[in-house]
Amino acid sequence: MPATTTSGLRVRDLHVNYGAVHAVAGVSLSVEPGRCVGLVGANGAGKSSTLHAIGGLIPCGRGSVIALGDRSLQRVTAPQRARLRLGHVLEGRHVFSDLSVAQNLHVGALAAARPRRAAAVAKALEVLPELHDVLKRPAGTLSGGQQQMVAIGRALAGDPEVLMLDEPTNGLAPILVDRVIHIVREVCAQGIGVLLVEQRLEVAQAAADELHVLQHGRIVHTTTGDDPGLAAIVHAAYLN
């Protein structure tokens, strides 16, 4: 029989320590192609630390398992993880301010396999057509909302199998919050898995197929966005 292949992101028993502080304590989750998985919880619950560890920006503890498809990522650097098709949009709209929007996209495309780079940039612009009008402008001259779109576009230009988004609606006007939700849905419709960290429960509910509630570095509840008891569960997690 032919060997079976695994797609998507798998995280098992993820641990992150900052000195004596156990920021992430045994998180396990999976992100399948075309599905959005949300992480919600209070500030300090371990949401961003989870993404940073998966992305290779900080070390994870012994026994942690991170795999993308059939490839283990534990000993793989952050740039290598991008080339293995793990996209990551950090909180705070990190763009190359002095480069044009087009140059930002082409920098992102360097993570894609060479034959796929032009198609990956074109695909990113299909998802984010609003970038067409600002392609020649320096990214640092754009509004905060536009810069967020550039950051997402740059990650998409890397041709990711899974895209991680850390607080993508933070500081955005309501109309742009709705736009981000639409973008997440469109990305998933293209078969890309999304791991979404969100402070706004209503955004996570609207975008995610599955939600994990984090409290003190642990997943304390897993459900779907239409769970009628979710708001009370999240509220209790924020208070404890």
In a domain, 103, yes or no: yes
Domain assignment of residue 211, given as a range: 33-57+77-239
Residue 65: exposed, middle, or buried by beta-carbon count in 10 A (0-12, 13-18, 19+)?
middle
Output the domain CATH number for residue 222: 3.40.50.300
Highest mean pLDDT among 19-28, 36-45, 86-95, 146-155: 146-155
CA distance 22 to 190: 36
In a domain, 225, yes or no: yes
Task: Tell me if 63 sits within 8 A of 74, measured CB to CB.
Answer: no
Task: Tell me if 26 sits within 8 A of 64, measured CB to CB.
Answer: no
Highest mean pLDDT among 18-22, 70-74, 159-163, 201-205: 159-163
Count of residues in the chain: 240
CA distance 166 to 140: 20
Residue 10 backbone class (left: φ over 0; alpha: ψ -120 to 50; beta: rest): beta
Four-residue CA torsion sign, 57, 24, 196, 177: negative
In a domain, 152, yes or no: yes
Split at pLDDT 50, 70, 90, the class of 35 is very high
- Please, where are the H alpha helices in the chain? 47-55, 78-83, 101-109, 117-127, 144-156, 174-189, 201-207, 230-239
In a domain, 67, yes or no: no
Task: Tell me if 60 sits within 8 A of 16, measured CB to CB.
Answer: yes
Measured in degrees and rounded to the nearest 5, phi and psi for residue 216 equal 50, 40
Counted domains in the chain: 1
In a domain, 116, yes or no: yes
In a domain, 10, yes or no: no
In a domain, 2, yes or no: no
Measured in degrees and rounded to the nearest 5, phi and psi for residue 66 equal -130, 125
In a domain, 27, yes or no: no
Q: Is the pTM of this model over 0.85?
A: yes
pLDDT at position 239 is: 62
Q: Could you report the per-residue pLDDT of 1-21, keeping only the tens digit for each?
A: 344 456 899 999 999 999 888
* pLDDT over 80 (residue 240): no
pLDDT at position 238 is: 73
